[in-house]
């Protein structure tokens, strides 16, 4: 490699200005009335060694860029200021937590900073959008994010061309899926008609048919009673209403009548005597995401609108948390609520935890005595960023790693700020578990584990299930990254789904949504309360990036390796080891001695900062393979992970852990108890004991 020629301060200043403009919000050629020096890139802040964000002159942030480009900006800035940092590391993180260590990800070589900066290609401007095409061969676990740069006439034209092509082709893809779901429904329809013609009730075969009938009757009776008492409530004196509101344990509904199928968690909370306030949270790369707080209105007064707004992008600022004492003014020690954060799955919002009336996990935990917070990932129902707009491709340049290392810490930090606790209980479903497992990895943000008292994973999505081999998923895996962009664009993934969500009546949209998702993911509503099914699909789908879906289904990512933190070769090695006889495996481990333990620690995904884990695995889940993850923990491949609870529910499918009619009995109560048992002694002294909790001896691994 040729030795680089030292730059003079003048040369460094010119190159720094060029690189800063390349990474800025807008170029100097734009309309001066729409841009200013405040939108210029100043430096790169490395959240992790592979996740730099750009800091603008006004303090705002731009999303992650390729690490080489970020390192070059910082290097030129230091050269311009006369500071030599040729041996300076990318971040202050320890060598153990840097993914640049080659043994951190076997088979992956990450270039050092000097190697990045010596590449001649980095000195060439990349004004054309074609330069941002992801390479055909990518990082074995996470693909590099493309660099789009500030807007220009050429880039805008190319973006419009890709939006047009993806609109046509993605709609055609969606149409094929809809037709496939319709054709597979025909046999079920004829079977249903045949049973009706022979005077049999097809619903009688459902596992909870009698309970469904009872609940439906009770719900209709409650709706009629609400209508009859509405006038009576209006005539009540104001003082009488206040006395009624002071009954803390009654959870008097403040909404009622027929279900209006609204995409509003507050509406469904008020139907069961609770309420919701909405917070806005800023991530470290400038996205504004939504956090819902579920509360009992008889004992908590919501914050002001200003207090619920987004704050600085910095996370876990202890001084700010100690000064923020709004909740402490309402709860005294001994009656405080222990905080729990719930995070949703792919193509869903956190409203998925609020669709089953009192059997909703969020409402159940709130009534049990927890302080419940519902976290939504970036974009969701309302894509919002501090500086970028919807049509800027940089708004959508993110995947599962950014959701894990930026969205999740921002949500946890805000909950701890509002509640003034050191830790919280974290509950995630499906993709929510993925982003958490990624974020806690020793190469990402392992220190996040110090803020979590227990991580409850529902239907954990770490290993792929057999469904990944379906034809429509294979299509997305075999096309090249460039072709993926042509089909699905560089913005939101099939945004037409959101348009239909807004335009179609709730009943029609719910029926179509269920049929399409059932066809795609091979699940049924057999264990759900069918009378509420349309409500369940009011909170899905949401906006996700095409880049994120490429991570899940593209040719070099999850669909290829079938694991979120291990390559396909490592997965094959695990399979071979699992096939060995238990006795032989134990003999090999004993003979290996300390060397074998060191090898396990080297190959482990997590270090000693990992929080306790608890798993609830759907035994009939074709989408993900939770049993394989359980085997990894049980066979000691993660020596630092403490598995406090594990349960396989054989009859459950992927969404049954949330929506099955007996999910509270089989999942919710255990989640309630596990969170309380793993909370610190200090927290338990100042918090109320969850309603229905029964103390048990020890914390044993439960596997069925």
Catalytic residues: 430, 621, 654
Q: What angle is formed at CA 627 by the lines to CA 560 and CA 380, rounded to 5 degrees?
A: 60
CA distance 39 to 36: 6
Q: What angle is formed at CA 78 by the lines to CA 75 and CA 79, rounded to 5 degrees?
A: 85
Residue 170 and residue 487 in contact, taking contact as beta carbons nearer than 8 Å: yes
Residue 638 and residue 671 in contact, taking contact as beta carbons nearer than 8 Å: no
CB-based contacts of 60: which residues, under 8 Å, 6+ apart?
25, 286, 386, 387
CA distance 477 to 399: 16
CA distance 593 to 504: 63
Residue 343 and residue 289 in contact, taking contact as beta carbons nearer than 8 Å: no
Q: Which two tokens stand for residue 201?
A: 């009730």
Judging by DSSP bridges, how do beta strands 452-458 and 275-282 pair with one another? Answer: unpaired
Beta bridge partners of 616: 458, 647
The distance from CA 32 to its chain's CA centroid, rounded to whole angstroms, is 38
Q: Which two tokens stand for residue 675?
A: 């969170």
CA distance 343 to 448: 15
| Burial state string for 568-596 with b = 16 or more CB within 10 A and e = fewer than 16 | eebbeebeeeeeeeeeeeeeeeeeeeeee
CA distance 175 to 178: 5
Q: DSSP 3-state assignment of 409? A: helix
What would the 3-class secondary structure string for 618-653 be? ECCCCCECHHHHHHHHHCCCCCCCCEEEEEEECCCC
Give the residue ranges of DSSP H helices in 546-643.
Answer: 546-553, 558-561, 568-579, 582-592, 594-603, 626-634
Q: Which two tokens stand for residue 50?
A: 């592979």
């Amino acid at each position: 490699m040729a030795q680089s020629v030292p730059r003079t301060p003048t040369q460094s200043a010119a190159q720094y200005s060029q690189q800063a403009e390349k990474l800025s919000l807008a170029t100097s050629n734009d309309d001066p009335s729409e841009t200013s020096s405040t939108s210029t890139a100043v430096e790169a802040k490395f959240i992790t060694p592979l996740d730099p964000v750009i800091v603008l002159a006004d303090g705002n942030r731009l999303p992650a860029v390729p690490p080489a480009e970020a390192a070059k900006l910082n290097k030129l800035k230091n050269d311009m200021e006369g500071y030599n940092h040729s041996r300076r590391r990318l971040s202050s993180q320890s060598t153990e937590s840097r993914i640049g260590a080659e043994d951190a990800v076997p088979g992956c070589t990450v270039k050092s900073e000097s190697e990045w900066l010596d590449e001649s290609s980095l000195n060439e401007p990349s004004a054309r959008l074609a330069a941002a095409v992801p390479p055909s061969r990518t990082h074995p676990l996470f693909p590099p994010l493309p660099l789009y740069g500030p807007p220009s006439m050429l880039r805008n034209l190319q973006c419009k061309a890709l939006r047009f092509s993806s609109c046509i082709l993605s709609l055609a893809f969606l149409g094929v899926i809809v037709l496939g779901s319709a054709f597979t429904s025909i046999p079920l329809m004829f079977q249903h008609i045949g049973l009706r013609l022979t005077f049999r009730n097809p619903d009688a075969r459902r596992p909870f048919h009698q309970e469904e009938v009872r609940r439906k009757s009770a719900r209709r009776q409650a709706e009629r009673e609400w209508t009859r008492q509405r006038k009576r409530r209006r005539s009540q004196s104001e003082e009488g209403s206040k006395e009624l509101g002071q009954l803390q344990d009654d959870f008097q509904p403040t909404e009622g009548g027929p279900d209006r199928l609204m995409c509003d968690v507050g509406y469904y909370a008020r139907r069961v005597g609770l309420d919701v306030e909405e917070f806005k949270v800023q991530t470290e790369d400038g996205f504004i995401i939504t956090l819902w707080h579920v509360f009992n209105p008889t004992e908590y007064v919501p914050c002001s609108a200003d207090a619920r707004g987004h704050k600085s992008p910095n996370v876990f600022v202890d001084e700010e948390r100690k000064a923020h004492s709004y909740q402490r003014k309402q709860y005294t020690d001994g009656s405080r609520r222990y905080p729990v954060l719930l995070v949703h799955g792919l193509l869903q919002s956190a409203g998925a935890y609020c669709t089953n009336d009192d059997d909703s996990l969020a409402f159940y935990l709130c009534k049990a005595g927890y302080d419940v917070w519902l976290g939504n990932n970036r974009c969701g129902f309302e894509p919002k960023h501090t500086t970028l707009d919807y049509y800027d491709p940089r708004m959508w340049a993110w995947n599962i790693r950014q959701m894990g290392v930026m969205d999740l810490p921002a949500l946890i930090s805000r909950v701890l700020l509002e509640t003034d606790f050191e830790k919280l209980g974290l509950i995630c479903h499906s993709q929510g578990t993925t982003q958490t497992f990624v974020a806690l990895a020793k190469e990402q943000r392992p220190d996040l584990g110090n803020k979590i008292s227990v991580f409850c994973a529902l239907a954990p999505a770490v290993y792929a299930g057999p469904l990944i081999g379906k034809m429509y998923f294979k299509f997305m895996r075999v096309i090249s990254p460039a072709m993926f962009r042509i089909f699905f664009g560089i913005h939101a993934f099939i945004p037409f789904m959101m348009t239909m969500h807004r335009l179609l009546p709730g009943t029609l949209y719910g029926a179509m949504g269920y049929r399409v998702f059932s066809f795609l993911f091979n699940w049924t509503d057999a264990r759900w309360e069918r009378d509420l099914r349309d409500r369940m699909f009011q909170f899905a789908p949401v906006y996700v990036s095409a880049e994120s879906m490429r991570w899940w289904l593209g040719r070099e990512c999850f669909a290829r390796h079938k694991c979120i933190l291990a390559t396909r070769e490592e997965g094959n090695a695990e399979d071979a080891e699992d096939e060995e006889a238990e006795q032989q495996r134990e003999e090999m481990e004993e003979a290996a001695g300390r060397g074998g333990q060191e090898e396990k620690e080297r190959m482990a995904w997590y270090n000693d900062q990992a929080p306790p884990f608890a798993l609830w695995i759907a035994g009939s889940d074709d989408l993900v393979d939770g049993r394989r993850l359980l085997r990894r923990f049980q066979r000691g491949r993660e020596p630092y992970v403490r598995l406090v609870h594990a349960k396989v529910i054989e009859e459950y499918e992927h969404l049954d852990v949330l929506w099955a009619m007996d999910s509270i009995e089989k999942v919710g109560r255990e989640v309630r108890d596990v969170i309380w048992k793993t909370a610190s002694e200090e927290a338990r002294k100042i918090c109320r004991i969850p309603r229905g909790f029964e103390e048990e001896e020890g914390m044993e691994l439960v596997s069925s």
